[in-house]
Amino acid sequence: MQSPWFSLIGLANRAGKCVSGEELVLKEIRSQRAKAILLADDASANTRKKLIDKSTYYKIPYYIVPDRVELGNAIGKEQRVTVAVIDNGFAKKLKTYFDQ
């Protein structure tokens, strides 16, 4: 069974409310457009530290998901290490799934 966040991210991506890829996500964090960050558990230590530090500094919630393959599949693309949600509604719903 898929996690509840999986289909929500797919929907957000189809709505054009997601950005994927490390550099693009960092850009969204710096411009404070990102409302939530998803980070693959198998991301490299360097990438993981960089994204968590930036998210913490800009007070953007981040969530760890199982792996890059699942994260990529959720948005209908190849493997992705990180995805930023740039919509408040999707970010709030995502928070409810991860807080359970």
Q: How confident is the model at residue 62 (pLDDT cuts 50, 70, 90)?
A: very high
Q: How confident is the model at residue 16 (pLDDT cuts 50, 70, 90)?
A: very high
For the stretch 23-45, pLDDT in tens is: 999 999 999 999 999 999 999 99
Cα 26 from Cα 15, distance rounded (Å): 21
Domains, the chain, in order of start with CATH, read: 4-99 (3.30.1330.30)
For the stretch 66-95, pLDDT in tens is: 999 999 999 999 999 999 999 999 999 999
Place of tokens 């599949």: 73
Give the torsion sign (CA, 19, 64, 87, 97). Answer: positive
C-alpha angle 25/50/11, rounded to 5°? Answer: 30
Q: Is the pLDDT of residue 1 over 70?
A: no
